[in-house]
Amino acid sequence: MIQEIFFRDFVRVKGTWYMLDMRFTPDAGNECMAFQCARPGEPCNGNDVWSQRGMPLTERAFKACRKEFIAYMQNRA
């Protein structure tokens, strides 16, 4: 049995909830994506609002991804 490696977390930025998801995707390779949500655990919009590619699938890389996403969203007008 092959176990898929992925990381997921919910973060709130400027009052809006986002789900961060990092995993291998067949079309893009390793990818960290953010999706807007109503609140943690509820279905999210299927369109990503941010993404990064090419990082290793590690907890350290996921924490860096989360930090970068939060900074990006806080600096948006």
Two tokens at 30? 């390793």
Q: Which residues contact 22 (CB under 8 A, 6 or more apart)?
A: 6, 7, 8, 30, 31, 32, 33, 55, 57, 61, 62, 65
- For the entire predicted model, the pTM comes to 0.87
Kindly indicate the confidence band of residue 51, based on its pLDDT and cuts at 50, 70 and 90.
very high
Average pLDDT of span 18-28: 93
Kindly indicate the confidence band of residue 47, based on its pLDDT and cuts at 50, 70 and 90.
confident
Is pLDDT at 45 greater than 90 in this prediction?
Answer: no
